Amino acid sequence: MICSKIYNICMNVEMCEMCRPDTHALPNAVKRIDKTATKRIISKKEELGMYKLLRSFFIAILVLAVFPQASLSQGNSLMIATFNCEFLTRPKVHIKFGLPFNINKASPAEKQQWNQPGFRDQKFKTAAGEVAKIIESVAADVIALTEVGDGSDLEELRTEIGSLGLNYQYMEVCDSSDGTTKQYVGVLSKFPIGDVIVKIPGRESYIGEPDDPETENNTGISKGMRVTVTAHGKEFLLYILHLASESGGHEKDQQRIAQASIVRRHYLPAIKEGKMVIVAGDLNDKKGQPTLLRIRGVDDIHEDLIQTGHTKYFDKDKLHTRWTYEYEGVRQQIDHILLSFSVKDACKRGGIKARTVDHGNDLASDHRPLVVTLKLKE
């Protein structure tokens, strides 16, 4: 019903006086001008062409207003991004403003200020607004977010993004067990999300110190989830992860590898069934390191995942931009998007393109978004 009404309006739209070729143009004939005059004669054909052009413009505006899905990537493209929002979580948002991790170690004046009713909420809104600017500039179809807050925090971020004109109809957040940082991972999508697993199950043992078997420990994944995104008639199993921090030396390295094993074990059955799998997030390790090799499956006999951080997926003049985090002057890629070969098979030849987004907004994040665009086959 709505579609037919819009169509009828567009088909019968008439030019306003400003848009007419001549403000005194006749409806059924071309204005006749003295043959000796040098003024340009506007033919019926030209007038009809202008009517059609204006009509097409109105159709485009109306469709975008009524059907937000029309703002999705053109054709059969799917743009996926991952972005670490750096402590965009209400209990710890003070870190974004230069205060210590433990607010009790701040100065008495700072503690008093942050304990005022509504002050933390206002600061969170400010920070969310800055993060929203980055996400809006990326405008991905699906974006995996790390270092965000719980459902209410993520909803506020989504509202801030919406105020900038970018609307994500679908949202999910993980079940986090990280009581220290109060961080979660989540996903925003323009495409439908289903089959949500809010916590990746399983545990894995690891040896904290290689020369001391008594340091054996085990780990799960405190911040991880999996969703199914349905886009362009295809289903993508998307894992959103934030693995153990790099701080902590060898023991943390071994913990990350163990977490990578859990993820690998979880998605491998889907790979064997030919399903399309995408792993995205802050994996806290670099390309070629044991954590990445394990989570991709390079160190086992089964089909592995594609590293989109490889040079072949970046434009040649952008190879120097293949980093997402800078620490003490060292730039490295620790945020990743990994694809199963079934995803590559679903793409056109050369249909996988990666890039990072430089934003220069320190309040938003100390990470840069990683974006991968998939040009899918019809």
Say if residue 40 is in the same domain as residue 170: no
Least confidently predicted of 13-22, 251-260, 283-292, 361-370: 13-22
Same structural domain, 219 and 162: yes
Question: Are residue 289 and residue 357 in the same domain, yes or no?
Answer: yes
pLDDT at 189 over 90: yes
Total domains, the chain: 2
Q: Examine the domain organization and report whether 195 and 238 are in the same domain.
A: yes
The predicted structure's pLDDT at residue 4: 42
Assign 22 a pLDDT band (cuts: 50, 70, 90): very low
Last residue of a domain, one of 24, 44, 66: 66
Q: State pLDDT tens for residues 220-232.
A: 999 999 999 999 9
**What domain range is 39 assigned to?**
2-66
What was the pLDDT predicted at 246? 84
Q: Which tens digits make up the pLDDT trace of 67-118?
A: 444 455 557 999 999 999 999 999 999 999 999 999 999 999 999 999 999 9
What is the mean pLDDT of the segment spanning 201-225?
A: 95
Q: Encode the chain in three state secondary structure.
A: CHHHHHHHHHHCCCCCCCCCCCCCCCCCCCCCCCCCCCCCCCCHHHHHHHHHHHHHHHHHHHHHHHCHHHHCCCCCEEEEEEEEEEEECHHHHHHHHCCCCCHHHCCHHHHHHHCCCCHHHHHHHHHHHHHHHHHHHHCCCEEEEEEECCHHHHHHHHHHHHHCCCCCCEEEECCCCCCCCCCEEEEEECCCEEEEECCCCCCEEEEEECCEEEEEEEECCCCEEEEEEEECCEEEEEEEEECCCCCCHHHHHHHHHHHHHHHHHHHHHHHHCCCEEEEEEECCCCCCCHHHHHHHCCCCCCCCEEECCCHHHCCHHHHHHCCCEEECCEEECCEEEEEEHHHHHCEEEEEEEEEECCCCCCCCCCECCEEEEEEECC
Kindly state whether residues 223 and 353 are assigned to the same domain: yes
- Mean pLDDT of all residues belonging to the chain: 87
Domain boundary among 41, 66, 91: 66
pLDDT 10s digits, 41-56 = 445 445 555 555 555 5
pTM, entire model: 0.82
